[in-house]
Structure 1
Amino acid sequence: MKFTKLTSSVLAGATLLSIMAPTASFAATSIAGSGDAKTNDNGGTKLPQNDHTEIGISFGDNQSNGNTGYLRLQMVPHTLDFGNHKLLDDSKLDFTADGKNTSLSNNNTKGSFDGTNANQTATLTTGTDTALDAVKGTAWATVVDKQVTHVDPMNGGNDANGKPTSGFHKGTDNVAGAWTLSVKSESPLTAVDNGDPSKPIVDETGAKEEIKDAKLTLSDTQYAQTQNVLGLTKDKNDNTYAKDLAALTTKPTAAPVANITKNISTPLVASGTDMTVAKAIAGEGQGANVFGWLPENIKLTMPAGAAVSNAIYKANLTWTLNSTVA
């Protein structure tokens, strides 16, 4: 019974507190006063007050390299990631840029070379531009060719003496094409500091740990061309391309690049040889030209007998866009 009375007492107390809760309202800062900093309604500070929140999300590789110009190298694969593996098997020496050891799946431990699960070979998301369907899902390089909108600052023509007044440099005009895209190796696979992968490991004599004779192969090159340049690049350099193109008196015909190397192979060495990816002649390549490779078609072949450590190995490539105009 004492337990029952105690319970009743607690309930009664709770009810009493509820009944006695304050019901009076309190005046807020007035609308009129808060709009006037001369009053003291809000301590002399006007309302409304504002602050801002930024919300961000990102998809794919969208880093700008800072290149500009009517003809520019807009994108190359920033990372080709061949994964993390238990060992190097002399009978299974091929690795692909989706992080896999070909025909030896039980050797794959992590998707990325740095030990994380996510493979870092970025692939292209094309959105709604069906002109890019052929390169969707590839690791890609892009050449933007807007030379058809190249402005002659002197308006062309001849002066009274018949001398050309064109401001274009000799051999330069407003026709697409006359360029070459190439790629070359800059270094062999080299062991890097696990704490700072930007730096190679060196021993007491200053020697680096390098793997000689590894080979990189880019197979089955895919190609697409689009005039929706801004839609692809999302780069302010391309903001006016559609308007500039529409303003041309004579509308150029956008022809694709015909000379494309289907399979590219290079040893990973210091100061390698330039390998041609594509070559556009005059009249070809207007707009954005995308060259792509499925990650499984990007292969790293390790040399037989190579001695590897518990280390990250890196090599570097240089991509070059060059005009073929003399």
Structure 2
Amino acid sequence: MKFTKLTSAALTAGTILSILAPTATFAATAEHDADANGGTELPMSDKTEVGISFGDNTDNGNTGYLRLQMVPHVLDFGNHTEFLSQYPTFDATGHNVSTDSNDRHASYKNTDTNLTATLNTEDPKLEDVKGKAWATVVDKQVTRENNDPEGETAKTTKKSGTWQLKVKSDDALTATENGETINNANLLLKNTAYGRTLDVPKLTNEAQDSGFQADTTIDNDDVSTITNNVSLSLDGTSPEVEVANAADSEGQGANVFGWDRSDINLTLPKDSKVGNNIYTAHLTWTLYTGVTAS
């Protein structure tokens, strides 16, 4: 192949330029050199949390050999287009009972997720309360160390039972914006289900239960007195209503009382006047023993 003088000159010039040109460099910051990065060394990191939860897993802070461990923290009766006097009852799925055309949102907070939590469990002893709104009394009295001497006068003993769970209305349904009330509404928890497990730590997931060891040589009976239908007038003045009553030697472990969300009903008086508002009322659940201190 022959090169012309012009081609040869061009190649020679290109070679000279490539020799004279500086070597290419790329922007970079050295690791482990704070000065090179304005005062902070590389590599540097940050964190991401990935989370998911199921049901109501809050801790109410109660402690003790005998304690009220859980109650339904929210009973959500939904958001509805209007109040229809011929259909005055709502259930805790957010549904206006007996009509399908009046439901707007599953939650009273105007969202489509109903806030009535239900129990997640695989414990076969709790099969009857699985998937229900629930309240739990934990009875670990068999582990008590500061017992009264045995005898007829003993008040604090190393035995299960002798307690009552009750609930009452604190106030009437009250509008959050203007304070207007819906008086004489009724709350009904129907068909109370019951389950008892000795595997307390697995149910509660609380550190205070981690060392619990059941002792069935002391006692091992279910709670025998349970109210089937718990009915409350939401007026703030009516007396407490008993949910369950554990006799002496009953209820060792975790006692769970549950209600299907569709069996939790809020019924408003047919002459109720409502506005475009959120109405809330409150309940207090209390665990008693009826035993006076020495």
CA spacing shift, 1:212–1:239, aligned 2, 3 Å: same
Distance 1:45 1:92 in 2: 67
Aligned partner of 1:251 in structure 2 is: 217
Write out aligned runs for 1:136-285 (5 A). Answer: 136-152=130-146, 171-193=155-177, 201=178, 208-242=179-213, 245=214, 251-285=217-251
> Which of 252, 276, 282 is matched with 1:310 structurally?
276
Distance 2:38 2:113 in 1: 53
CA apart distance, 1:89: 1.0
1:96 partnered with 2:96: no
CA apart distance, 1:251: 3.0
TM-score scaled by structure 2?
0.82
Amino acid at match of 1:114: K
CA apart distance, 1:261: 0.3
CA spacing shift, 1:70–1:41, aligned 2, 3 Å: same
1:117 partnered with 2:112: yes
SS at match of 1:95: strand
Conserved? CA contact 2:172–2:183, under 8 Å: yes
Q: How many residue pairs are counted as aligned between the two chains?
A: 268
Amino acid at match of 1:259: T
CA apart distance, 1:230: 1.0
Distance 1:287 1:267 in 2: 32
Write out aligned runs for 1:278-297 (5 A). Answer: 278-297=244-263
Amino acid at match of 1:182: K
TM-score scaled by structure 1?
0.74
Percent identity of equivalent pairs: 47
Amino acid at match of 2:141: Q
Distance 1:212 1:96 in 2: 18
CA apart distance, 1:212: 1.1
CA apart distance, 1:29: 7.7
> Which of 62, 67, 70 is matched with 1:67 structurally?
62
1:77 partnered with 2:72: yes
SS at match of 2:110: coil
Amino acid at match of 2:205: K
CA apart distance, 1:266: 1.2
Distance 1:254 1:132 in 2: 16
CA apart distance, 1:253: 3.3
Amino acid at match of 1:209: E
Conserved? CA contact 2:160–2:219, under 8 Å: no
Amino acid at match of 1:129: D
CA spacing shift, 1:178–1:92, aligned 2, 3 Å: same
CA apart distance, 1:273: 1.1
CA apart distance, 1:213: 1.1
Q: Structure 1 unaligned runs (5+)?
A: 1-21, 157-163, 194-200, 202-207
Amino acid at match of 2:254: A
Aligned partner of 1:11 in structure 2 is: none
Distance 1:23 1:254 in 2: 83
Aligned partner of 1:14 in structure 2 is: none
SS at match of 1:310: coil
CA spacing shift, 1:46–1:253, aligned 2, 3 Å: farther
Q: Structure 2 unaligned runs (5+)?
A: 1-22
SS at match of 2:262: helix
Amino acid at match of 1:97: A
